[in-house]
Amino acid sequence: MRSVFIHSHELAKFDFGPGHPYKPERAIKAYELCRRYGVMDRPWMKTMAPKPIDPALLSLFHEQGYVNLLREASTGRASLELLAHGIGSEDNPILPGIYEWSLMTAGATYMGMRLIVEDKADVVFSPLGGFHHARRDYAEGFCYVNDVAIAITGAVKGGMKVAFIDIDAHHCNGIQDAFYEEDRALIISLHETGETLYPGTGMMDEIGVGKGLGYNINIPLAKGTDDEVYVYAFQEVVPPIVRVFKPDFVVAEIGADTLRSDPLTHFMLTNNAYQEVIKVIKGLSQRILAVGGGGYDIYRTARCWTLAWSILNEVEPEDEFAGVVGGMMFGPEMEVSSLYDVPRPTKGRVKEKAFARAREVVNYIKTEIFPLHGIAR
C-alpha cells in the first residue's frame, strides 16, 4: 500500500471569521491526532504539501467569468456583481486571499487525483477538500471552487471511470450538476433530506438524464436517523451498485457532520456508523481519494478523520500518551478520552419514522435504478 496525507498547517490556518461555522483548523487537529495515535508513521505513508492548481484547470467545471469575479473578491472589494454570484453572502463572505486559498485546496484534491491515476498512490486523503456545493458560476454552502468536480472531470476526460460516494450530511448539489448527464461518473450521496436541511436538493427521484440516467443516486434520510438506520441504507444501496459499476477508483467525501453533536444538522449518528461505512468504502476499491467535506463539531470531526485514515490504511490507532495526557484536546464531552463514541441508538417514534423513510428510499432505488444496471432487487 502507498498512502499520501495532503496537509499544510498554513493552509489550515485560513480564517473565515469568528462567527463562521467553517473552520479549516479541523485539518490541523486531525493531523495531530493521527500523529498522536501512531497512524501517520508507517513506512508506506507520506505527508505531502499541496500545490496551487493551474488556474486554467478551473475551467474543467467553472465558467471563466465566475473565476474572474472570485479573483476580484480576493482583493477584499465588494460589489453587487459578486453578490449575484453568491460571493459576499453570509455563507460565502468576501475574504482577502480567498482566490489563492481556493487554488490551493483545489490543487490538493487535483494532486490526489493525479497520484491515483498515475499509480503513485493507492490511498490519498485531503482533509481540506470536498467543496461539493460550489456551482459553475455561483458560490454557496461555504464552497467557492468545486475541487471535487474539477478532479473527477479531469479523470473522466482522461478515460477513467469514477465512483463518488458522499457521506456528508448535506447533498452534493454542485457535483450532481456536474455529472447529471454522465455515465462515466457514478454519483452517490447519502444525506439529510432537503425537506429539513440545506441545500434542499437530492431527492430520491433525481436520478440523472440521458446517458446519465441511473448514475445519479440520492439517499435522502430523515432527521433523527441513527447508526442502525444509516448503515442499513448504505449497505442496501452502495456496495451492489459500485461493484457493478466497477470504477477505476473511488472518490469519497467523508464529512463528519452526520454526528449527533453537529450544530448544523439533525442526524443522530455516532462515529461507530461512520467507521462501519468507511470500512465498506475501503472494501469497494483498491484506490481511494478521500476528501474532508463538512463537520462543524471540530473536535469530533478530527476524531472521525483520524479513524478514517486508520481504516483506509488498515492500522489500529493507539494513544501513546494514554494515562499521561488527558482527553481535553478533543473537547469537554464525556467520552473524549477515547477516539470511539459510546453507541447511542434512538428509540420510539423518531426511530420508526427514520426507518420508514430509509426503507422507502431503498425500495425506490431498487425498483427504479437497480434494473438499469442489471441488478436484481
Is 133 one of the annotated active-site residues of the chain? yes
The one catalytic residue among 7, 85, 133, 191: 133
Distant-in-sequence contacts of 329-335, Cβ < 8 A, 24+ apart: 329/29, 329/299, 330/299, 330/300, 330/302, 330/303, 331/297, 331/299, 331/300, 333/261, 333/299, 333/300
CA-based nearest residue to 24, from 137, 120, 126, 175: 126
Answer whether 253's CB lies under 8 Å from 210's CB: no
The H-or-E segment that residue 102 falls in is helix 98-117
Cell of residue 292, nine digits: 474532508
DSSP state of 4: E
Cα gap 197→346, rounded to integer Å: 20
> What residue type is 43 in one-letter code?
P
Classified as helix, coil or strand, 254 is coil
Cell of residue 197, nine digits: 436541511
Partnered with residue 190 across adjacent β-strands are 219
193 by Cβ neighbours in 10 Å (0-12 / 13-18 / 19+) ranks as buried
DSSP state of 259: B
Answer whether 256's CB lies under 8 Å from 301's CB: yes
Q: Which residues are catalytic?
A: 133
